[in-house]
Each structure stands twice: as structure tokens, then as C-alpha cells.
Amino acid sequence: MVQPIIKWAGGKRQLLPEMHNLLPEKFNTYFEPFAGGLALFLSLTPEKSVVNDLNYELYNLYSTVKNDAEGVIDALHKHSAKDTKEYYLDIRATDRDGRLEKMSDAERAARFIYMNKTSFNGLWRVNRKNQNNVPYANHKNKYKVDEEGIRELHNYLNEVDTTILNGDYSDAVATAVKDDFVYFDPPYIPVTETSNFANYTADGFGWDEQVRLRDLFVELTNRGVKVMYSNADVPLVHTLFDDVEGANIHSVQATRMINSNAAKRGKVGEVLITNY
């Protein structure tokens, strides 16, 4: 099993046993329109897949690791050698002063990995100007490059038929047909007003998008596509899906370690919704 090379808020590594218990018996092409850390995708290692994320940094990360893993590794070693709070803040500022746009794809992917691994609690968060605003983690040991993990992901992405996209989730599944499998892992509906992790991109993911995604779930079901959908186990999710014909709601428990408030980390209720 190839391991994710980044941390991701809402990542599914803790839920993989429950998710594997709910997988369809067989499927053709695998689609993951909200890529994140790609935990389920990497645990399945499908022979043909389409992965997508609206976050350009994520798209660039995976496409560049596929095409130029050694360039990413080389750039990461430069970050590792200089890793301090002051250096991190300088690298973070590259999305404010024009330096980010001048980076090569490998340099930009390395920036993303370095900041993801050294930021407070492994969080990636941007403001309305699409500028990262996560503080440094103040870790004791300097960041160490995971060469093996990056090369393993590179090798896998080049051994199988994987298409990597950067666009809207509905466009990412436009080619899905009967007996394909789609896994939707959108930004979750907040459990409280303050626990809103929907700002992975500057655009956010509000109620209208949740409704549009639910409608896409129905459309794919009508096309014979197998779908799994995850979200927080909150009343609004049940409002969305309780009356959807063919939707099976499974309540599960996940361990969440990414939260600015330590008291809110730990076991949380989530749902996995399938149409098969």
C-alpha cells in the first residue's frame, strides 16, 4: 500500500477499515473528485482512475510528483537544510509577494509539502486572497524529506492509468459510467459555527455546494455509477440525504487530530453514504 505523502484535515486514514467494509464488490474506473491526501485511492491502488482537486497546490503536487519526483525531492532538501520558524514564514510569504508564481512546478510542489509538514498541526488553510496563514509548528527536529514515500507514489502513478485534474468536482466525474466507482469527500458541513474547515481553497464550500453535490449523487445513481460519500454526522447531512432513494447512511467514528483547539480533537461522528 502506497502511503499519503501529506497530512490533510479530514483525511481518511483512520476510517479506511470502515470504508473498505463498505466498498462495492467490484468496479471499473475509480473517481475521487476531492483528492485531499488520497488515502482511500492509495489503499485501493486502482488500475484506472481519475483524481481531481480544485486546490491548485494539490493538483500541482500530484501531477509534479508523477512527472518529476526527483525535482521535488531536490527542492525539499533545500527546505530541510534551512528549516526554522523564520525560514518557514519567508516561504509562506511567497504567495503574497509574487515569488510563488515564478517557481517551477517542482519548487511549488516542494513548498506545499514542506509547509504541510512543518505548519501548526499539519493544517493547510488559506484566507480569502488564497494566501496561506497557518503558523509554524515549532517542532524540535528539522523537517526530514520522505524520499521513499515520494518515489513510491511516483512509481505507482506511472504504473497505472491515472488522470489528474484541477477543476470542479462535477466535471471530474463527467465521464463516469455504469459500474464505475466515485468517492466524494467534500469539505465537511461544520459541526459548530467555528469548526469550519471549508476554506481549503479561497472559494469555500457552502450550503449551495452541498446541495449541488447531493444532486450529483442522485444523478450518478441514476446513471448506474456506484457512489460513496462522506461527511460529518450532523442533522444537515440527514436533511440532505434522508429522502434520497437508494441512499444508505452508515454512521462511523473517526479520530481527528487536526484542530486548533486540542479539546476538540479525538473521536468524532461521521457518515458514509452509499448507493449500493
* pLDDT value at residue 256: 59
| Residues 136 and 174 reside in one and the same domain | no
| Residues 25 and 90 reside in one and the same domain | no
Q: Is residue 145 part of a domain?
A: yes
Tally of domains in the chain: 2
* pLDDT value at residue 200: 45
| Residues 50 and 67 reside in one and the same domain | no
Q: Is residue 157 part of a domain?
A: no
| Residues 131 and 106 reside in one and the same domain | yes
Per-residue model confidence as pLDDT tens digits over 235-261: 999 999 999 999 999 999 876 555 545
pTM: 0.90
Dihedral sign of CA atoms 179, 2, 269, 8 in order: negative
* pLDDT value at residue 104: 98
| Residues 97 and 121 reside in one and the same domain | yes
| Residues 30 and 50 reside in one and the same domain | yes
| Residues 71 and 50 reside in one and the same domain | no
| Residues 101 and 235 reside in one and the same domain | no
Residue spans of beta strands (DSSP E) within 64-206: 161-165, 181-184
Q: If the chain, 276 residues long, is cut into consecutive pieces of 10 residues, what is the mean pLDDT of each piece?
A: 88 90 97 96 96 96 98 98 97 98 98 96 89 92 95 97 98 98 93 53 75 97 98 93 96 68 63 98
Spatial separation of the C-alpha atoms in residues 6 and 143, rounded to whole Å: 13
Q: Which of these three, 149, 181, 198, is where a domain ends?
A: 149
| Residues 23 and 117 reside in one and the same domain | no
Dihedral sign of CA atoms 203, 208, 209, 210 in order: positive
* pLDDT value at residue 209: 93
* Residue 183's CATH number: 3.40.50.150
Q: Is residue 8 part of a domain?
A: no
Residues in the chain, total: 276
* pLDDT value at residue 198: 47
Which range marks the domain in which residue 145 is found? 61-149
